[in-house]
A and B are shown apart, each in its own frame.
Chain A
């Protein structure tokens, strides 16, 4: 079983599958519309300087979000090396 981590703790290049999305309703709707739903694969592309936002890839969509928003998204990491 692979480990569960908040999206905000991922390193650039990490892959995983969304395990849970915890967010208030308005944020939740926005996240769903941009592709954050349970079971979908994602990849952390890069982090901005000074604890700035994250760039996350979901399928063909790239999304930028702040750490605070990313903290509520739980990701089941793919085993390292298995792209």
Chain B
């Protein structure tokens, strides 16, 4: 087995190439020496089985960004047999230097000129053989998007590996920092082997940009586009999600309940309401993640994501974030889980952590269900929509307060200098592949955590054996009682506290929990809620439910995406504190006003 790493600048189609070569067999995993997960897969090159590793995009092998460090640490810690440098054929003027930097590492190296289709459209002609001779490295040209030239590239890789000896020692690699010589070499290579027309004609991409990046129209168009995508994700995703839930329910009713009937109540309960419900919770996220990443990959691959960063930068920079964080925040209003996973498009870790801290505060569709139910039960129909609107405003305020409070701690080190790639039509195959790989990632990383959480909450609400479920005699009832000194000043009584414990699993479960706790359903439950709390207590409870903690699936995602237990703890503790302060201020403020 030979290990080969792919390196290249962002926007060179490196990941497209990786996906093209490896298909759905890729998996992300941990590597020695680096703190991010890297995708790898096995592919056959001639007679060699190759483990191909996709390294993060970098501009400079000696640069200071997180990704650039990752590439260096990887190359130091994990021996590779060969490197493949992917260059954008239409931007060789500034990318050839990277090939020379990589060459200086002294490892067998293949140079791939990608995006030959775009280069041809620009009228750029490249003398491959001459360039290969000048560089002293084998060169192959291809279009990873269209798949042309792929076979030739793999053949070149195979013959490179035929001649490759064992990887050379690390000592060689630090004989670098010869930027001036490299620059001169680049100049002469370009002059001899690459022909670029002196002035590029206005392209279709430029014409589209004139509208999309228009000083006044740009932002409204962006908001409309995001709104359309948001609607599309949840119009497509929600019925699928309901379908999965219905399927799990049907299996439970038609098969499992009869099958497990002979078991004692407790064992049947833990299997049905603990284990089976836990599996269902995980499964219900699958369609949403697929649909979300389908659209996100399309937005990212088309080039709109970098343009969103350009458009919203002047607003978001004040919060220590950028336009990519804005896109994820917005998506968080549908469901926090895929939005948290989507922050991976941000390459700078501090900014990524800051946006992961703010996303769970967006009022997701699960919380909306709870608020619609409570608002309808407590408020007159004319007032209820304004209560919901107020909760959305509260959600935005919580995001802004959090970003302002933590932007110093998670200060971005990365300069805002990004490429605006030309508009490109995303390919269906790659977009679909992305959705599938993300689901695999979510299932592998989050399943156990969510599952254990669901079972634990079930146990809390059903132990000791024989107590009425979620009643005052259970562990949960006892916790609700013990928390009264803390939650009482917010107008949250013992029964509501138990409902919050359920809401930890998934926010929409709060309504189901009311049904169990009060022993009532539907209108009867709504009536009992209206009798047992006034509007101040109900609003205080809703504010607390909005902010108090990310749901179990969101926490599982926070943990796997941040790879830090400390950060996950902060992402739970901060909203809890914020929720308490906000609800306390509201409840006591209203009471002080005599309401």
Query: Which residues of chain B come closer than 8 Å to A53, judged between CB atoms?
Result: 310, 313-314, 416
Q: From residue A35, how far is it (CB to closest CB) to chain B in Å?
A: 4
Pairwise interchain contact B196-A33, C-beta atoms closer than 8 A: no
**A49 in contact with B219 given A65-B416, A66-B317 (CB within 8 Å):** yes
Which residue of chain A lies nearest to B317 when distances are taken between CB atoms in the complex? A66
**A64 in contact with B62 given A27-B417, A30-B415, A33-B94 (CB within 8 Å):** no
A48 at interface, CB cutoff 8 A? yes
B98 at interface, CB cutoff 8 A? yes
- What is the number of residues of chain A that contact chain B, defined by CB distance less than 8 Å? 32
Q: How far is the CA of A64 from the CA of B59 in the complex (A)?
A: 15
Query: Which residues of chain A come closer than 8 Å to B413, judged between CB atoms?
Result: 26
B146 at interface, CB cutoff 8 A? no
Pairwise interchain contact B62-A66, C-beta atoms closer than 8 A: no
A47 at interface, CB cutoff 8 A? yes
Interface of A, secondary structure class, is mixed
Pairwise interchain contact B418-A64, C-beta atoms closer than 8 A: yes
Query: Which residues of chain A come closer than 8 Å to B64, judged between CB atoms?
Result: 25-26, 29
Q: How far is the CA of A30 from the CA of B310 in the complex (A)?
A: 17
Pairwise interchain contact B93-A60, C-beta atoms closer than 8 A: yes
Pairwise interchain contact B94-A58, C-beta atoms closer than 8 A: yes
Q: How far is the CA of A29 from the CA of B417 in the complex (A)?
A: 11
Query: Which residues of chain B come closer than 8 Å to A30, judged between CB atoms?
Result: 59-60, 63, 65, 415, 417
**A69 in contact with B417 given A33-B97, A60-B122, A64-B306 (CB within 8 Å):** yes
Pairwise interchain contact B418-A50, C-beta atoms closer than 8 A: no
Q: Which of B97, B218, B417 contacts A65 (CB 8 A)?
A: B417
Q: How far is the CA of A27 from the CA of B199 in the complex (A)?
A: 28
Pairwise interchain contact B94-A35, C-beta atoms closer than 8 A: yes
Q: From residue B223, how far is it (CB to closest CB) to chain A in Å?
A: 13
Interface string of A33-50 (1 = CB under 8 A from B): 111010000000111111
Pairwise interchain contact B60-A46, C-beta atoms closer than 8 A: no
Which residue of chain A lies nearest to B306 when distances are taken between CB atoms in the complex? A64
Q: How far is the CA of A69 from the CA of B416 in the complex (A)?
A: 8
How many residue pairs bridge A and B at CB < 8 Å? 112
B90 at interface, CB cutoff 8 A? yes
Query: Which residues of chain B come closer than 8 Å to A50, judged between CB atoms?
Result: 314-315
A32 at interface, CB cutoff 8 A? yes
Query: Which residues of chain B come closer than 8 Å to A61, judged between CB atoms?
Result: 91, 94, 419
Pairwise interchain contact A48-B313, C-beta atoms closer than 8 A: yes
Pairwise interchain contact B313-A29, C-beta atoms closer than 8 A: no
Pairwise interchain contact B59-A33, C-beta atoms closer than 8 A: yes
Pairwise interchain contact B314-A48, C-beta atoms closer than 8 A: yes
Pairwise interchain contact A26-B63, C-beta atoms closer than 8 A: yes
B111 at interface, CB cutoff 8 A? no
Q: From residue A65, how far is it (CB to closest CB) to chain B in Å?
A: 4
Pairwise interchain contact A46-B215, C-beta atoms closer than 8 A: yes
B200 at interface, CB cutoff 8 A? yes
Pairwise interchain contact B310-A59, C-beta atoms closer than 8 A: no
Pairwise interchain contact B213-A69, C-beta atoms closer than 8 A: no
**A66 in contact with B59 given A26-B415, A30-B417 (CB within 8 Å):** no
**A37 in contact with B416 given A52-B310, A59-B196, A64-B306 (CB within 8 Å):** no
Interface string of A56-78 (1 = CB under 8 A from B): 00111111111001000000000
Pairwise interchain contact B98-A33, C-beta atoms closer than 8 A: yes
Query: Which residues of chain B come closer than 8 Å to A35, judged between CB atoms?
Result: 91, 93-94
Pairwise interchain contact B91-A27, C-beta atoms closer than 8 A: no
Interface centre among B62, B317, B420 (most CB of A within 10 A): B420
Interface string of B310-352 (1 = CB under 8 A from A): 1101110100000000000000000000000000000000000
Q: From residue B119, how far is it (CB to closest CB) to chain A in Å?
A: 9
The B212-259 residues at the A interface (CB cut-off 8 A) are 213, 215-216, 218-219
Q: How far is the CA of A47 from the CA of B93 in the complex (A)?
A: 25
Query: Which residues of chain B come closer than 8 Å to A66, judged between CB atoms?
Result: 313, 317, 415-417
**A64 in contact with B314 given A30-B63, A59-B196 (CB within 8 Å):** no
B528 at interface, CB cutoff 8 A? no
Query: Which residues of chain B come closer than 8 Å to A69, judged between CB atoms?
Result: 415-417
B183 at interface, CB cutoff 8 A? yes
Query: Which residues of chain B come closer than 8 Å to A58, judged between CB atoms?
Result: 94
Query: Which residues of chain B come closer than 8 Å to A32, judged between CB atoms?
Result: 60, 97
Query: Which residues of chain B come closer than 8 Å to A25, judged between CB atoms?
Result: 64
Pairwise interchain contact A55-B314, C-beta atoms closer than 8 A: no
Which residue of chain A lies nearest to B419 when distances are taken between CB atoms in the complex? A63
B277 at interface, CB cutoff 8 A? no
Q: From residue B428, how far is it (CB to closest CB) to chain A in Å?
A: 26
Pairwise interchain contact A64-B420, C-beta atoms closer than 8 A: yes
Q: How far is the CA of A58 from the CA of B419 in the complex (A)?
A: 11
Q: How far is the CA of A49 from the CA of B422 in the complex (A)?
A: 21
Q: Which of B93, B98, B213, B422 contacts A55 (CB 8 A)?
A: B213
Q: How far is the CA of A11 from the CA of B124 in the complex (A)?
A: 29
B70 at interface, CB cutoff 8 A? no
Query: Which residues of chain A come closer than 8 Å to B60, judged between CB atoms?
Result: 29-30, 32-33
Interface string of B60-100 (1 = CB under 8 A from A): 10111100000000000000000000000011011001100
Query: Which residues of chain A come closer than 8 Å to B454, judged between CB atoms?
Result: none
Q: Which of A33, A45, A46, A51 contacts B9 (CB 8 A)?
A: A33
B309 at interface, CB cutoff 8 A? yes
Q: From residue A6, how far is it (CB to closest CB) to chain B in Å?
A: 15
Q: How far is the CA of A58 from the CA of B64 in the complex (A)?
A: 23
Which residue of chain B lies nearest to A53 when distances are taken between CB atoms in the complex? B313
Task: Give 19 CB contacts A-B under 8 Å.
Answer: A26-B64, A30-B63, A32-B97, A33-B97, A35-B93, A48-B314, A49-B216, A53-B313, A53-B416, A55-B310, A59-B94, A60-B90, A60-B122, A61-B94, A64-B306, A64-B420, A65-B418, A66-B317, A69-B417
Interface positions of B (Cβ within 8 A of A):
9, 59-60, 62-65, 90-91, 93-94, 97-98, 122, 124, 183, 196, 199-200, 209, 213, 215-216, 218-219, 306, 309-311, 313-315, 317, 413, 415-422
Q: Which 9 residue pairs across A and B have the least CB separation, nearest first?
A: A33-B59, A52-B314, A26-B64, A35-B94, A50-B314, A62-B420, A65-B417, A64-B310, A29-B60
